[in-house]
Amino acid sequence: MDASSETAAASAGVSAAEAAPRPSWRDTLAVYLQKRVLIVLLLGFSSGLPLALSGSTLQVWMREAGVDLGTIGLFALVGTPYTIKFLWAPLVDALHVPWLTARLGRRRGWLVFSQALLMAAIVLLALTDPARAPWLVALGALMVATASATQDIVVDAFRVESLPEPEQAAGMASYVAAYRVGMLASTAGALFLVSAFEGAGTGKSAAWMWGYVVMAALVIVGTLTALAATEPGQSAQADAAAASDNRARRVVNAAVGAFTEFLARRDALAVLAFVVLFKFTDAFSGAMTAPFVIDIGFSRNDYAAIVKGVGLAATLIGGFAGGFVARAYSLPASLWIGGAVQALANLSFSWLAFVGVDQWALAFAISAENFTSAIGTVIFVAYLSALCNSPLHTATQYALLTALAAIGRTYLSSGAGFVATATGWPAFFALCVVAAVPSLMLLMWLQRRGHFAALEKDAG
């Protein structure tokens, strides 16, 4: 598109991305089959696996152990490492892991190291007992979250740096779909494993322990992927350019550069607020979904079967649907679509609260939540990736953004249990829809301020 055409499109309220020809489904499918995209897909599974182990799966374990709803809600605070991971992200950008970096490269060395820490932390959490020592469980969950957040720092930087622009949408869709599969493996998969161990005669406490040990073993998927991958060219070049600096200088440059470059942008604070609030509607409802399903009368296996069956299918379809939306529409239009559908899906749980124990109603609610959440996440990841454009501090800048996004999941949603207790389940999930309004208002304001047009110009 030439300059005059671009100007005409802009004056008509249409971005260059919207005015460009839409990609065919064959072109889109070919991109999904690229090796780099497949590598990102497998790393997405490894990133998604640990989140539920310190979140919803742990909530089911604690609820079965008799822990009260208020305490379970407060356990959202163990996700603190996801909100402060930008504090140690400069170390990932700047420092080398002894032995591993020399053999695997800057990003792959950190990948293997963080995954080893993650496996050890999950095993330690498996050895705790929610009924007898809930605060020891909190410590174990905090260790899992810290190792998981470190892995996320590296995976995000690897993904942004390794995928060229034509593969970004497919890479994000694949990553998010696999991320959700990883979460399903550690929710429905873990719950089925616990039931299988109990069915084989293992006590409940031991069954939970062995379920978590199996989840720790699944982290090896990410490790094998890291070993098979190729170090991103941008990362290797940036690392070579800073080779003459000492370690302290490299860390300072990574930290300061990431913050100053971002804060120098127009409307930076509004952008950060939007990042915090966009997924809040998901986080607030997600904090209570598992306890809600158990409380209204479904069994652990009922919940696991639905999540693993139609929930998995809805997640996969939603992830790839999000990729198609991101490729077919402009970034602001995609964000409007994702923000609206993920908010409205909460009404399916309000409806389920009135219906009661009905397998089809549960299947519909879980499918609606998984499908729309996957769409919203893919588009949100596309937005965060567009905000990061320097390989010198990709890990730090992306970690800052995703840490801010985790504030909704960790802090703003920590009182969800108390709200649900005070309002009842139907009203609670209706409030989750209302929670999306501030982010949509910010989206409208940023769009009018030309924020997305500036991002498109930077990308070009």
Q: What is residue 409's predicted lDDT score, i.e. its pLDDT?
A: 65
Residue 11 lies in a domain: no
From CA 197, how far away is CA 208, in angstroms rounded?
Answer: 8
Residue 125 lies in a domain: yes
Q: What is residue 348's predicted lDDT score, i.e. its pLDDT?
A: 93
Q: Domain limits at 367?
A: 24-459
Residue 5 lies in a domain: no
Element (H, E) at 241: helix 233-241
Residue 294 lies in a domain: yes
Q: What is residue 34's predicted lDDT score, i.e. its pLDDT?
A: 64
Counting the structural domains of the chain, the total is 1
Residue 7 lies in a domain: no
Residue 375 lies in a domain: yes
**Measuring CA to CA, which residue among 188, 167, 189, 169 is closest to residue 177?**
169
Is residue 86 within 8 A of residue 149, CB to CB? The reply is: no
Residue 6 lies in a domain: no
DSSP designation for 88: T
SS3 146: helix
Q: What is the pLDDT along the chain (460 residues), one digit of tens a residue?
A: 433 333 333 333 444 444 445 555 444 444 444 678 889 889 999 999 998 898 888 888 888 877 777 777 777 788 888 878 888 888 888 888 899 988 888 889 999 999 999 999 999 999 988 878 888 888 999 999 999 999 999 998 888 888 776 677 677 778 878 887 898 889 888 988 999 999 888 888 899 999 999 999 999 999 999 998 888 876 666 666 555 555 666 677 666 766 777 777 888 899 989 998 998 888 888 878 888 888 888 887 777 777 767 877 887 888 888 888 887 888 899 999 999 999 999 999 999 999 888 888 888 998 999 899 989 988 898 888 888 766 666 778 888 887 777 776 667 777 888 888 899 999 999 999 999 999 999 999 999 998 988 887 766 5
Q: Could you tell me the sign of the dihedral formed by the alpha carbons of 427, 368, 273, 409, in that order? A: positive
Domain CATH for 247: 1.20.1250.20
Rg (CA), the chain: 22
Residue 3 lies in a domain: no
**Measuring CA to CA, which residue among 298, 286, 284 is closest to residue 360?**
298
Q: What is the pTM of this model?
A: 0.69
Q: What is residue 248's predicted lDDT score, i.e. its pLDDT?
A: 67
| Count of other CB atoms within 10 angstroms of residue 9 | 17
